[in-house]
Amino acid sequence: MITVNHIAQLRSFCDDARRAGRRVGLVPTMGYFHEGHRSLMRAARVENDVVVVSIFVNPTQFSPSEDLDAYPRDLERDDAIARDEGVDVLFTPDTAEMYPRPPLTTVHVGDLTAELCGASRPYHFDGVATVVTKLFAITGPCRAYFGRKDYQQLAVVRRLVADLDLPVDVVGCPLVREPDGVAMSSRNAYLSAEERAAATALVRALDRAAEAVRAGERDAATLRGLVVAEVDGEPLATLDYAEVVDAGDLSRIDHLEDSTDVLVALAARIGKTRLIDNATIEVRGAQVRVDLGVRS
Ligand code: PAF
């Protein structure tokens, strides 16, 4: 594995690889790897000749009141994990490399970013969309890998790729959970033992909604109410949002019609730490398929 810090180095490496007919897969990350990141690297390793993993804690997707400075970092450990997963190139630019001047150009993905996390983090998805577009422009990947835990982010990236005709396949990979069901996140590192136990409220809330759909409930407000009640029942949790939306365009729905694919998404603060989670539910007549991801 080689580590590169400069855009020009990575661009020339990827240009040479493509010229030699090799397929380049990109896994964009902010580092502090966990099993979810490993699963993205493994998927990329299977499907590409060259695997590039970027680690860049992107300041433009944090608002001034958020955790940019505190965001967990451990480059030495990440380096060892990336080697272990057979990564070819670790791209670790600093902020001056990625943003040598205040950018006048940003990528804004309209309606998809207005609700859910976008409602409480108004600039977040512009920051994500812009840095992901830059990483695509630098690397020129055939495929890029994103986890479904950040479902809205995945939808935003898919849409920007479609709208801008970018020649990259966006691959959505399963959400990965801890054995007790908590969705893996670098931010879990902030949680005290008590908060870590309280964080199970998020997956319990999703389970409750999923069970209700399996039992025949189709009213979106009722399902949302179950999620809210479960999170509100946890004293250390404060709900940011819980929504039941169309899994394709993220628009709100009233009723789970037959043949609908639905996203149940929520964000909550456990102490000071904001966590997100989601489940997708496919309704096909009496058949209901719930995707809560995989447990490690
Ligand atoms: O999901 C993340 O880690 C980040 O939002 C991403 C996609 C690397 C952009 O900074």
Residue 80 backbone phi and psi in degrees, to 5: -65, -40
Band the pLDDT of 107: cuts 50, 70, 90. very high
Answer positive or negative: Cα dihedral of 205, 207, 208, 214: positive
- Among 55, 58, 61, name the best residue to mutate to test ligand 1's pocket (greatest count of ligand atoms within 8 A of Cβ): 58
2 Cα: distance to centroid of ligand 1 (angstroms): 21
Torsion angle of alpha carbons 293, 46, 28, 240, nearest 10°? 0
Tens digits of residue pLDDT in 129-178: 999 999 999 999 999 999 999 999 999 999 999 999 999 999 999 999 99
Q: Of all protein residues, whose CA lies closest to atom 2 belonging to ligand 1?
A: 29
User: Does the pLDDT value for residue 292 go beyond 90?
Assistant: yes
Distance, first Cα to last Cα, the chain: 26
d(CA 145, CA 27): 5
Nearest to 183 by CA among 274, 72, 249, 290: 274
Share of the chain above pLDDT 90, in %: 98
- Rounded Cα distance, 245 and 262, in Å: 6
- DSSP assignment of 150-184: GHHHHHHHHHHHHHTT-S-EEEEE--EE-TTSPBP
Nearest to 109 by CA among 155, 151, 168, 165: 155
Ligand 1 geometric centre to CA of 288 (Å): 31
The residues annotated as belonging to the active site are: 37
Output the pLDDT for position 212: 98
Ligand 1 pocket: which of 26, 27, 30, 139 to mutate (most atoms <8 Å of CB)? 30
d(CA 273, CA 230): 18
Query: Please, what are the domains in the chain?
Result: 2-174 (3.40.50.620), 186-295 (3.30.1300.10)
28 CA distance to ligand 1 middle (Å): 6
- The 10s digit of each residue's pLDDT in 22-81 is 999 999 999 999 999 999 999 999 999 999 999 999 999 999 999 999 999 999 999 999
pTM of the model: 0.97
Structure-token match 């990947």, residue found: 141
Model confidence at 286, in pLDDT bands (50, 70, 90)?
A: confident
Is 53 within 8 Å of 41 (Cβ atoms)?
A: yes
